């Protein structure tokens, strides 16, 4: 039997138009918070219990800073938006340490090697991650109308922070994307003939424009292989390809390309930024392409260039002509 409290949480999240991924994450954290306190109802708890849970995550579970912050956000949402309870001061929590590590970046040759180890949709999606600097979810959520061939650009809708932005589209991907959209069109027509064909629309557009959900322009560029039931509406639809399938394909392609460093789909985005800066692109341009709010976030990629952000030249370069004695 579903929990009445968690049902309320889901209802408020949907009313506030939170994404399904955020909904699942928040509900999971609230459930873990309740279990941690031996099934005590949150109304009977407060700031002290929240502090104890967050401290346990940092000290005993050794979670990342982003993970602890997500748990905190979920609990603040629970108390503020659902229970209408003011937690007051929740300072004094042991904070998880944020990793200072620089991001992993592929060389241009490594990008080509990884792409060569991929096929079909996974190749095209990975090429977009690198060629346009997209985040994983920005790529899988692309719709047909978001690809502008005339201006060679991709419109990212509702990126991180809910912001839209325009990014470049590589000329070499135009023909591949046209073939992909033709495949989407054929698949969509088959769904329509079978009595389906609608797609999830944001911001209640489906209620305002009932026919829009079946237009090709709104279909996902990378659709799932099978239709599924929307957990929020109960409607059977074709959603976008799951992000985990692309992650798995890239994870297998990386060692196949002879790369032993830890890397992922996001490494393509890091490589996009670093290679743009290395080619002479202005840092503000790269900031806009990546959708960073603060240019300081973009500046981290300057540290990955051949001579670093400060233009430091290794002293070994002055000794390169001298023989090195090895013992």
Please report how the helices 4-15 and 20-36 are oriented relative to each other, as an axis angle in degrees rounded to 10. Answer: 150
**Residue 160 catalytic?**
yes
Q: How far apart are CA 167 and CA 173, in angstroms?
A: 14
Task: Check 160, 165, 183, 214 and give the catalytic one.
Answer: 160
Q: Give how far the C-alpha of residue 170 lies from the chain's centroid of Cα atoms, to the nearest Å.
A: 21
- Residue 144: closest CA among 134, 136, 135, 155: 155
What does the alpha-carbon distance between residue 314 and residue 307 come to, in Å, rounded to a whole number? 8
Instruction: From the candidates 238, 269, 270, 275, give the one annotated as an active-site residue.
Output: 269
How many angstroms separate the CA atoms of 29 and 243, rounded?
A: 21
248 assigned to active site = no
Cβ neighbours for 216, distance < 8 A, ≥ 6 positions apart: 144, 184, 185, 188
Residue 166: what are its φ and ψ, rounded to 5°? -115, 130
Which residue is catalytic, options 135, 188, 238, 275?
A: 135
Alpha-carbon span 305 to 286, nearest angstrom? 14
98 is catalytic: no
Within the chain, where are the H helices? 4-15, 20-36, 47-59, 65-77, 108-116, 120-132, 136-140, 174-193, 205-208, 243-256, 266-278, 283-290, 295-298
For CA atoms 42, 46, 51, 52, the dihedral sign is negative
- State yes or no: is 237 an active-site residue: no
Q: Residue 122 in contact with residue 242, Cβ under 8 Å? A: no
Tokens of 57: 């995550």
User: Is residue 18 annotated as part of the catalytic site, yes or no?
Assistant: no
Residue 266 annotated among the catalytic residues of the structure: yes
Instruction: Give the separation between CA 117 and CA 15, rounded to whole angstroms.
Output: 43
Active site residue ranges? 135, 160, 266, 269, 292, 301
């Amino acid at each position: 039997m579903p929990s009445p409290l968690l049902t309320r949480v889901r209802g408020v999240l949907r009313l506030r138009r939170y994404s399904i991924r955020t909904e699942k994450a928040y509900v999971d954290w609230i459930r873990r918070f309740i279990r941690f306190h031996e099934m005590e109802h949150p109304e009977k708890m407060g700031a002290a219990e929240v502090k104890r849970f967050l401290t346990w995550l940092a000290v005993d579970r050794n979670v990342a800073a982003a993970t602890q912050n997500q748990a905190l956000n979920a609990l603040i949402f629970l108390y503020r938006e659902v229970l209408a309870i003011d937690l007051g001061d929740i300072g004094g929590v042991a904070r998880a340490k944020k990793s200072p590590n620089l991001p992993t970046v592929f060389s241009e040759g490594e990008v080509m090697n990884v792409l060569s180890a991929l096929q079909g949709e996974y190749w095209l999606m990975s090429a977009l991650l690198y060629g346009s600097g997209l985040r994983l979810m920005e790529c899988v959520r692309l719709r047909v109308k978001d690809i502008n061939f005339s201006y060679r650009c991709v419109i990212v809708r509702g990126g991180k922070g809910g912001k839209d932005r325009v990014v470049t589209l590589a000329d070499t991907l135009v023909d591949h994307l046209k073939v992909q959209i033709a495949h989407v069109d054929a698949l969509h027509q088959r769904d329509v003939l079978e009595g389906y064909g609608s797609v999830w629309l944001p911001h209640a557009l489906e209620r305002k424009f009932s026919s829009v959900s079946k237009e090709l322009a709104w279909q996902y560029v990378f659709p799932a292989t099978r239709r599924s039931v929307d957990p929020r509406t109960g409607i059977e639809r074709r959603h976008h390809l799951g992000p985990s399938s692309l992650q798995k394909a890239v994870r297998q392609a990386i060692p196949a390309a002879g790369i032993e460093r830890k890397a992922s789909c996001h490494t393509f985005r890091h490589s996009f930024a670093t290679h743009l800066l290395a080619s002479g692109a202005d840092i503000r341009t790269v900031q806009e392409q990546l959708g960073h709010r603060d240019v300081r976030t973009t500046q981290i990629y300057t540290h990955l260039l051949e001579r670093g952000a400060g233009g430091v030249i290794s002293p070994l370069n002055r000794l390169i002509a001298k023989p090195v004695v090895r013992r």
